[in-house]
Amino acid sequence: MAVHVFDTMGTTVSLRFAGAIAAPAVLTQVEDVFRAFDLRFSLYRPASELSRVAAGELLLTRASTELREAYAEALEWSRHTDGVFTPHRPDGVIDLSGTVKAKAMDAAATVLEAAGESAWMLAVGGDILTRGTVGGEPWQAGVVDPDDRGGLLCVIELSGRRTALASSGTAERGEHIWRASAGSVPDAFRQVTVRADDIVTADVVATALVAAGPERYQDLLDRFDVDAITVDNSGVVTATPGLRRVPGLAPA
């Protein structure tokens, strides 16, 4: 299995191919996709377009079409989740980190597909997107155990329509998600993993479920066609019907 690895957007990108590695020009295009998203949307880059909007140096109405469309899409996700998912920080600053990484992965997939690459796994900061199979077998993705970052909670197959996997929670980066209720209560979610048909949906819903907590868990799941695994602060692990046969997981 051939692997291409590079760093961008504050994380590591790993691109695995079931067969031979893609041509250098294709790999360069993939890297350029992520760097372009980072240069436009990163709030850690003072010169990025979004940072200039946040600083009041650039009016949102004068921003690029790409930025305004990304913001509009994030607002739609907020509407679909009744505001649980939000593109705003508590101080009102527009923060599109909840969708940008997944959108970059989706754009990279378009590059790979246009180049005729049909069997690969793209992993970016714990989120995974796949196409095709490995020797006729589904791609498998490990879900990290939030109580043991060196171990796995389980291994999930990505096949058929379900080719995207995203995890959100506090085990890796601490309390960085605004929650509807206190994150320290025993049944609050410490980690949520979502398997979906596309990576943007997987990423947004995983974040929304952590933010919403158990009280609104079922309501949100009823709105989206996804599979989910949750781990709460007490260590209780549950899974929705599509993942009930994964070893070690209990049904939700």
Residue 67 included in any domain:
yes
Residue 251 included in any domain:
no
Give residue-wise pLDDT tens across range 46-105.
Answer: 999 999 999 999 999 999 999 999 999 999 999 999 999 999 999 999 999 999 999 999
Residue 248 included in any domain:
no
pLDDT of residue 85: 95
pLDDT over threshold 80, residue 122: yes
Residue ranges making up the domain that contains 64:
2-243
Report percent pLDDT > 90 for the chain: 83
Amino acid at 202: A
Number of structural domains found in the chain: 1
Give Rg (Cα) of the chain: 18
Q: What is the mean pLDDT of residues 9-29?
A: 97
pTM reported for the whole predicted model: 0.91
Residue 26 included in any domain:
yes
pLDDT of residue 12: 96
- pLDDT band (50, 70, 90) for residue 186: low
Residue 249 included in any domain:
no
pLDDT of residue 149: 79
Residue 150 included in any domain:
yes
- pLDDT band (50, 70, 90) for residue 141: very high
pLDDT over threshold 80, residue 117: yes
* CATH code: domain of residue 14: 3.10.520.10
pLDDT of residue 220: 95
Alpha-carbon dihedral angle through residues 50, 51, 55, 57, given to the nearest 10 degrees:
-70
Angle in degrees, CA 10, 68, 85, rounded to 5: 65
Residue 252 included in any domain:
no
Mean pLDDT over the full length of the chain? 91
**What's the CA gap between 7 and 222, in Å, rounded?**
36
Contact 1, 16 (CB under 8 A): yes
Closest CA to 17 of 120, 139, 159, 128: 120
More confident residue, 176 or 89: 89
Give residue-wise pLDDT tens across range 211-238.
Answer: 999 999 999 999 999 999 999 999 999 9
pLDDT over threshold 80, residue 156: yes
